[in-house]
Amino acid sequence: MKDSRWLPILAAALGVLGGIGGAFIGGSLANAGAEKRLEKERAAQVQDIRIDVYGTYLGTADELATAWLEGDQEEIADGIKKLFVVEAKVAVIAEDQDAFETAAQQINQILTNEGLTQEGLPQYQLAYKAFLDFARDEIEQTSG
Residues 17-57: tens digit of each pLDDT: 778 877 778 777 777 777 888 888 988 999 999 999 999 99
> In this predicted structure, what is the pLDDT of residue 55?
94
Which pLDDT score is estimated for 73?
A: 93
Contact assessment for residue 74 and residue 48, using Cβ atoms and an 8 Å cutoff = no
Full-model pTM: 0.74
Per-residue model confidence (pLDDT) at position 122: 92
73-105 pLDDT tens trace: 999 999 999 999 999 999 999 989 998 988 888
Q: How many whole angstroms separate alpha carbon 58 and alpha carbon 86?
A: 9
Which tops the pLDDT comparison, 71 or 35? 71
Q: What mean pLDDT comes out for the span 131-139?
A: 92
The pLDDT score that the predictor gives to residue 60 is 95
Q: What's the rounded Cα separation, in Å, for the pair 124 and 106? A: 8
Question: What is the C-alpha separation between 61 and 69, in angstroms, rounded?
Answer: 12
Residue 29 has a pLDDT of 74
Identify whether the C-beta of residue 131 lies closer than 8 Å to the C-beta of residue 65: no
The DSSP string of 6-47 is HHHHHHHHHHHHHHHHHHHHHHHHHHHHHHHHHHHHHHHHHH
Ranked by mean pLDDT, which of 14-18, 23-27, 125-129, 138-142 comes out on top? 125-129
Chain centre to alpha carbon of residue 104: 17
Could you tell me if 138 and 111 are in contact, meaning their C-beta atoms sit under 8 angstroms apart? no
Which residue ranges make up each domain of the chain?
41-143
